[in-house]
Structure 1
Protein backbone atom coordinates (compact mmCIF):
# COMPACT_ATOMS: atom_id res chain seq x y z
CA UNK A 1 0.00 0.00 0.00
CA UNK A 2 1.30 3.45 -0.90
CA UNK A 3 0.57 6.34 1.43
CA UNK A 4 -0.95 9.55 0.12
CA UNK A 5 1.60 11.70 -1.68
CA UNK A 6 4.14 8.87 -1.88
CA UNK A 7 4.57 6.67 -4.90
CA UNK A 8 6.74 3.69 -5.66
CA UNK A 9 8.22 5.45 -8.69
CA UNK A 10 12.02 5.35 -8.78
CA UNK A 11 14.00 8.54 -8.22
CA UNK A 12 14.77 10.64 -11.28
CA UNK A 13 18.31 12.05 -11.44
CA UNK A 14 18.99 15.20 -13.42
CA UNK A 15 21.55 17.98 -13.76
CA UNK A 16 21.73 20.85 -11.28
CA UNK A 17 19.92 24.10 -12.02
CA UNK A 18 20.83 27.32 -10.15
CA UNK A 19 17.29 27.57 -8.72
CA UNK A 20 17.92 24.24 -6.91
CA UNK A 21 20.38 25.74 -4.41
CA UNK A 22 17.89 26.53 -1.59
CA UNK A 23 16.28 23.09 -1.83
CA UNK A 24 19.72 21.43 -1.79
CA UNK A 25 20.57 23.31 1.39
CA UNK A 26 17.33 21.99 2.94
CA UNK A 27 18.24 18.43 1.88
CA UNK A 28 21.73 18.85 3.37
CA UNK A 29 20.37 20.09 6.71
CA UNK A 30 17.67 17.42 6.81
CA UNK A 31 20.18 14.67 6.07
CA UNK A 32 22.65 15.81 8.72
CA UNK A 33 20.04 16.42 11.43
CA UNK A 34 17.93 13.32 10.71
CA UNK A 35 19.91 10.52 9.06
CA UNK A 36 23.17 11.30 10.86
CA UNK A 37 21.52 11.73 14.28
CA UNK A 38 22.34 8.19 15.48
CA UNK A 39 26.04 8.76 14.71
CA UNK A 40 26.75 12.35 15.75
CA UNK A 41 25.85 14.41 18.82
CA UNK A 42 23.56 17.46 18.57
CA UNK A 43 26.64 19.70 18.94
CA UNK A 44 28.45 17.88 16.12
CA UNK A 45 25.43 18.11 13.83
CA UNK A 46 24.96 21.82 14.64
CA UNK A 47 28.59 22.52 13.71
CA UNK A 48 28.30 20.48 10.51
CA UNK A 49 25.00 21.97 9.33
CA UNK A 50 24.26 25.15 11.29
CA UNK A 51 20.82 26.71 10.99
CA UNK A 52 22.36 30.06 10.06
CA UNK A 53 24.23 30.02 6.77
CA UNK A 54 25.19 32.31 3.90
CA UNK A 55 22.71 31.49 1.12
CA UNK A 56 24.81 33.24 -1.54
CA UNK A 57 27.93 31.31 -0.49
CA UNK A 58 25.95 28.04 -0.58
CA UNK A 59 24.57 28.86 -4.05
CA UNK A 60 28.08 29.64 -5.31
CA UNK A 61 29.36 26.34 -3.93
CA UNK A 62 26.55 24.40 -5.61
CA UNK A 63 27.22 26.22 -8.88
CA UNK A 64 30.90 25.24 -8.64
CA UNK A 65 30.16 21.60 -7.76
CA UNK A 66 27.39 21.10 -10.37
CA UNK A 67 25.80 18.21 -8.44
CA UNK A 68 23.39 15.65 -9.78
CA UNK A 69 19.93 16.20 -8.30
CA UNK A 70 17.56 13.35 -7.40
CA UNK A 71 13.82 13.96 -7.44
CA UNK A 72 11.28 11.70 -5.79
CA UNK A 73 7.53 12.23 -5.72
CA UNK A 74 7.95 15.57 -7.49
CA UNK A 75 10.46 17.11 -5.08
CA UNK A 76 14.20 17.24 -4.60
CA UNK A 77 15.21 14.30 -2.41
CA UNK A 78 18.99 14.22 -2.69
CA UNK A 79 22.11 15.40 -4.46
CA UNK A 80 25.69 14.35 -5.10
CA UNK A 81 28.59 15.59 -7.18
CA UNK A 82 31.56 14.12 -9.01
CA UNK A 83 34.65 16.25 -9.50
CA UNK A 84 37.14 15.70 -12.37
CA UNK A 85 39.61 14.10 -9.93
CA UNK A 86 37.06 11.43 -8.96
CA UNK A 87 36.32 13.17 -5.67
CA UNK A 88 32.74 13.08 -4.41
CA UNK A 89 32.53 16.24 -2.33
CA UNK A 90 28.86 16.09 -1.30
CA UNK A 91 26.40 13.19 -1.20
CA UNK A 92 23.18 13.80 0.75
CA UNK A 93 19.65 12.38 0.90
CA UNK A 94 16.76 14.15 2.62
CA UNK A 95 15.97 12.77 6.05
CA UNK A 96 12.52 11.52 5.07
CA UNK A 97 13.76 9.85 1.87
CA UNK A 98 16.27 7.39 3.29
CA UNK A 99 15.78 3.81 2.14
CA UNK A 100 13.82 4.79 -0.99
CA UNK A 101 16.54 4.31 -3.61
CA UNK A 102 17.70 7.94 -3.78
CA UNK A 103 21.31 7.25 -2.78
CA UNK A 104 21.46 4.20 -5.05
CA UNK A 105 20.22 6.26 -8.03
CA UNK A 106 22.74 9.02 -7.31
CA UNK A 107 25.61 6.54 -7.03
CA UNK A 108 24.58 4.91 -10.32
CA UNK A 109 24.70 8.33 -12.01
CA UNK A 110 28.11 9.08 -10.47
CA UNK A 111 29.50 5.75 -11.69
CA UNK A 112 28.09 6.25 -15.21
CA UNK A 113 29.48 9.78 -15.35
CA UNK A 114 32.89 8.62 -14.11
CA UNK A 115 33.08 5.98 -16.83
CA UNK A 116 31.98 8.49 -19.51
CA UNK A 117 34.69 10.89 -18.33
CA UNK A 118 37.41 8.25 -18.00
CA UNK A 119 37.63 8.52 -14.21
CA UNK A 120 38.87 5.21 -12.80
CA UNK A 121 38.96 5.96 -9.08
CA UNK A 122 36.19 7.43 -6.94
CA UNK A 123 36.93 8.74 -3.45
CA UNK A 124 35.13 10.65 -0.71
CA UNK A 125 35.28 11.69 2.91
CA UNK A 126 32.31 9.72 4.19
CA UNK A 127 30.34 10.33 7.36
CA UNK A 128 29.72 7.54 9.83
CA UNK A 129 26.07 7.67 8.76
CA UNK A 130 26.88 7.00 5.09
CA UNK A 131 29.73 4.54 5.55
CA UNK A 132 27.59 1.38 5.29
CA UNK A 133 25.95 2.61 2.07
CA UNK A 134 29.34 3.38 0.51
CA UNK A 135 30.61 -0.07 1.54
CA UNK A 136 27.59 -1.69 -0.16
CA UNK A 137 28.45 0.40 -3.24
CA UNK A 138 31.91 -1.21 -3.34
CA UNK A 139 33.96 1.44 -1.52
CA UNK A 140 36.66 0.52 0.99
CA UNK A 141 37.82 2.49 4.01
CA UNK A 142 41.29 3.85 3.26
CA UNK A 143 41.70 5.83 6.46
CA UNK A 144 39.75 6.86 9.55
CA UNK A 145 40.08 10.58 10.15
CA UNK A 146 38.69 13.64 11.86
CA UNK A 147 37.70 17.03 10.47
CA UNK A 148 36.96 20.25 12.30
CA UNK A 149 33.81 22.29 11.72
CA UNK A 150 33.23 25.46 13.76
CA UNK A 151 35.66 24.24 16.40
CA UNK A 152 34.00 20.83 16.74
CA UNK A 153 35.81 17.64 15.72
CA UNK A 154 33.83 15.16 13.60
CA UNK A 155 34.83 11.61 12.75
CA UNK A 156 34.61 10.25 9.21
CA UNK A 157 36.45 7.96 6.82
CA UNK A 158 38.27 8.44 3.56
CA UNK A 159 36.83 5.79 1.27
CA UNK A 160 37.59 4.86 -2.32
CA UNK A 161 36.54 2.54 -5.09
CA UNK A 162 38.35 1.62 -8.26
CA UNK A 163 35.96 1.32 -11.20
CA UNK A 164 36.27 -1.47 -13.68
CA UNK A 165 36.45 -0.21 -17.25
CA UNK A 166 33.14 -0.08 -19.11
CA UNK A 167 32.54 -3.26 -21.05
Structure 2
Protein backbone atom coordinates (compact mmCIF):
# COMPACT_ATOMS: atom_id res chain seq x y z
CA UNK A 1 0.00 0.00 0.00
CA UNK A 2 1.14 3.50 -0.85
CA UNK A 3 0.23 6.55 1.24
CA UNK A 4 0.90 9.90 -0.37
CA UNK A 5 -0.31 13.48 -0.49
CA UNK A 6 -3.35 14.08 -2.64
CA UNK A 7 -3.65 16.43 -5.60
CA UNK A 8 -6.34 17.76 -7.93
CA UNK A 9 -5.98 14.70 -10.14
CA UNK A 10 -7.30 12.60 -7.23
CA UNK A 11 -10.57 14.50 -6.93
CA UNK A 12 -12.75 12.34 -9.22
CA UNK A 13 -11.69 9.16 -7.45
CA UNK A 14 -12.06 10.79 -4.00
CA UNK A 15 -15.59 11.89 -4.81
CA UNK A 16 -16.54 8.46 -6.13
CA UNK A 17 -15.07 6.75 -3.05
CA UNK A 18 -16.92 9.24 -0.79
CA UNK A 19 -20.27 8.44 -2.46
CA UNK A 20 -19.80 4.66 -2.62
CA UNK A 21 -18.62 4.43 0.98
CA UNK A 22 -21.56 6.41 2.34
CA UNK A 23 -23.99 4.35 0.23
CA UNK A 24 -22.73 0.95 1.32
CA UNK A 25 -20.90 1.32 4.64
CA UNK A 26 -23.26 3.74 6.39
CA UNK A 27 -26.56 2.08 5.45
CA UNK A 28 -27.00 0.50 8.89
CA UNK A 29 -26.72 3.86 10.67
CA UNK A 30 -28.63 6.21 8.34
CA UNK A 31 -31.81 5.81 6.30
CA UNK A 32 -32.05 6.16 2.50
CA UNK A 33 -33.03 9.86 2.61
CA UNK A 34 -30.16 10.67 4.95
CA UNK A 35 -27.67 8.77 2.79
CA UNK A 36 -28.91 10.49 -0.37
CA UNK A 37 -28.62 13.92 1.26
CA UNK A 38 -25.16 13.19 2.67
CA UNK A 39 -23.67 11.78 -0.53
CA UNK A 40 -25.04 14.73 -2.52
CA UNK A 41 -22.04 16.58 -1.08
CA UNK A 42 -19.97 14.91 -3.79
CA UNK A 43 -21.65 17.24 -6.31
CA UNK A 44 -20.29 20.41 -4.67
CA UNK A 45 -17.33 21.18 -6.95
CA UNK A 46 -16.34 24.32 -5.05
CA UNK A 47 -16.18 22.44 -1.73
CA UNK A 48 -13.97 19.67 -3.16
CA UNK A 49 -11.62 22.16 -4.80
CA UNK A 50 -11.36 23.99 -1.46
CA UNK A 51 -10.48 20.69 0.25
CA UNK A 52 -7.70 19.81 -2.18
CA UNK A 53 -6.27 23.34 -2.31
CA UNK A 54 -6.45 24.31 1.37
CA UNK A 55 -6.27 21.10 3.40
CA UNK A 56 -3.64 18.44 3.86
CA UNK A 57 -5.00 15.50 1.87
CA UNK A 58 -3.58 12.01 2.35
CA UNK A 59 -4.44 9.23 -0.10
CA UNK A 60 -3.93 5.48 0.23
CA UNK A 61 -3.67 3.31 -2.86
CA UNK A 62 -3.27 -0.40 -3.41
CA UNK A 63 -2.46 -1.76 -6.89
CA UNK A 64 -3.33 1.63 -8.35
CA UNK A 65 -6.78 1.78 -6.72
CA UNK A 66 -7.66 4.40 -4.11
CA UNK A 67 -8.44 2.60 -0.88
CA UNK A 68 -9.02 5.65 1.29
CA UNK A 69 -8.30 9.28 2.06
CA UNK A 70 -8.11 11.61 5.03
CA UNK A 71 -7.93 15.40 5.24
CA UNK A 72 -6.61 17.78 7.87
CA UNK A 73 -7.96 21.33 7.88
CA UNK A 74 -6.27 24.23 9.69
CA UNK A 75 -3.80 21.84 11.28
CA UNK A 76 -6.18 20.31 13.80
CA UNK A 77 -9.58 19.45 12.23
CA UNK A 78 -10.10 16.09 10.52
CA UNK A 79 -12.58 17.06 7.85
CA UNK A 80 -12.86 13.84 5.85
CA UNK A 81 -11.83 10.23 6.51
CA UNK A 82 -13.20 7.60 4.16
CA UNK A 83 -12.12 4.06 3.32
CA UNK A 84 -13.29 2.25 0.19
CA UNK A 85 -16.20 -0.13 0.81
CA UNK A 86 -14.12 -3.10 -0.39
CA UNK A 87 -11.20 -2.30 1.94
CA UNK A 88 -12.98 -1.93 5.28
CA UNK A 89 -11.48 -3.47 8.45
CA UNK A 90 -7.96 -3.73 6.99
CA UNK A 91 -6.21 -1.03 9.03
CA UNK A 92 -6.35 1.62 6.29
CA UNK A 93 -8.28 4.19 8.34
CA UNK A 94 -5.83 3.70 11.21
CA UNK A 95 -2.81 4.22 8.95
CA UNK A 96 -4.30 7.34 7.39
CA UNK A 97 -5.30 8.67 10.80
CA UNK A 98 -1.85 8.04 12.31
CA UNK A 99 -0.24 9.97 9.44
CA UNK A 100 -2.58 12.90 10.10
CA UNK A 101 -2.04 12.78 13.87
CA UNK A 102 1.72 12.81 13.38
CA UNK A 103 1.40 15.86 11.13
CA UNK A 104 -0.67 17.64 13.80
CA UNK A 105 2.00 16.82 16.41
CA UNK A 106 4.76 18.17 14.15
CA UNK A 107 2.73 21.38 13.92
CA UNK A 108 2.54 21.45 17.75
CA UNK A 109 -1.24 21.19 17.78
CA UNK A 110 -2.69 20.55 21.23
CA UNK A 111 -5.76 18.62 20.08
CA UNK A 112 -7.53 17.15 17.08
CA UNK A 113 -11.23 17.64 16.41
CA UNK A 114 -13.69 16.00 14.02
CA UNK A 115 -17.39 15.85 13.25
CA UNK A 116 -17.91 12.10 13.16
CA UNK A 117 -20.72 9.98 11.73
CA UNK A 118 -22.47 7.28 13.74
CA UNK A 119 -20.64 4.76 11.55
CA UNK A 120 -17.18 6.21 12.24
CA UNK A 121 -17.70 6.85 15.95
CA UNK A 122 -16.30 3.48 17.17
CA UNK A 123 -13.14 3.99 15.10
CA UNK A 124 -12.53 7.47 16.49
CA UNK A 125 -13.14 6.23 20.03
CA UNK A 126 -10.49 3.52 19.46
CA UNK A 127 -8.10 6.27 18.34
CA UNK A 128 -8.62 8.07 21.66
CA UNK A 129 -11.27 10.62 20.75
CA UNK A 130 -14.10 11.50 23.11
CA UNK A 131 -17.53 12.87 22.34
CA UNK A 132 -18.01 16.55 23.10
CA UNK A 133 -21.63 16.67 21.92
CA UNK A 134 -24.12 14.94 19.68
CA UNK A 135 -25.19 17.14 16.79
CA UNK A 136 -27.96 17.33 14.21
CA UNK A 137 -26.71 18.53 10.84
CA UNK A 138 -29.28 19.57 8.25
CA UNK A 139 -28.35 18.68 4.68
CA UNK A 140 -30.87 19.57 1.97
CA UNK A 141 -33.69 19.59 4.53
CA UNK A 142 -32.72 16.23 6.04
CA UNK A 143 -31.35 15.90 9.60
CA UNK A 144 -28.30 13.68 10.14
CA UNK A 145 -26.92 12.85 13.56
CA UNK A 146 -23.19 13.03 14.16
CA UNK A 147 -20.76 13.75 16.97
CA UNK A 148 -18.36 16.59 17.69
CA UNK A 149 -15.31 14.69 18.97
CA UNK A 150 -11.84 15.65 20.11
CA UNK A 151 -8.57 14.13 21.18
CA UNK A 152 -5.96 15.82 23.34
CA UNK A 153 -2.45 15.49 21.93
CA UNK A 154 -0.07 15.27 24.88
Q: TM-score range by the shorter chain?
A: over 0.9
More helix by share: 2
- The alignment status of 1:115 with 2:105, answered yes or no, reads yes
The 2-side partners of 1:18 and 1:100 are apart by 26
Contact 2:75 2:104 in 1 (8 A): no
TM-score (norm 2): 0.92
CA drift of 1:68 comes to: 0.8
Secondary structure of the residue aligned to 1:40 is coil
1:63-97: CA deviation from partner (whole Å, max 9, x where unpaired): 22231111123211111111225111111111111
- The alignment status of 1:142 with 2:132, answered yes or no, reads yes
The 2-side partners of 1:142 and 1:12 are apart by 33
Q: Would you identify which runs of 4 or more consecutive aligned residues in structure 1 move more than 3 Å?
A: 54-57
The 2-side partners of 1:54 and 1:128 are apart by 23
The 2-side partners of 1:89 and 1:15 are apart by 15
- The alignment status of 1:131 with 2:121, answered yes or no, reads yes
Contact 1:22 1:55 in 2 (8 A): no
2:73 to 57, 79, 83: 83
Q: Which residue does 1:28 correspond to in 2? A: 18
TM-score (norm 1): 0.85
The 2-side partners of 1:123 and 1:56 are apart by 23
The 1-side partners of 2:26 and 2:138 are apart by 16
Secondary structure of the residue aligned to 1:118 is coil
Gaps of 5+ in 1: 1-10
Contact 2:132 2:149 in 1 (8 A): yes
CA drift of 1:163 comes to: 1.1
CA drift of 1:55 comes to: 4.1
Larger Rg: 1 or 2?
1
Secondary structure of the residue aligned to 2:10 is helix
Change (3 A) 1:22 1:56: farther
Secondary structure of the residue aligned to 2:33 is helix
Change (3 A) 1:66 1:114: closer
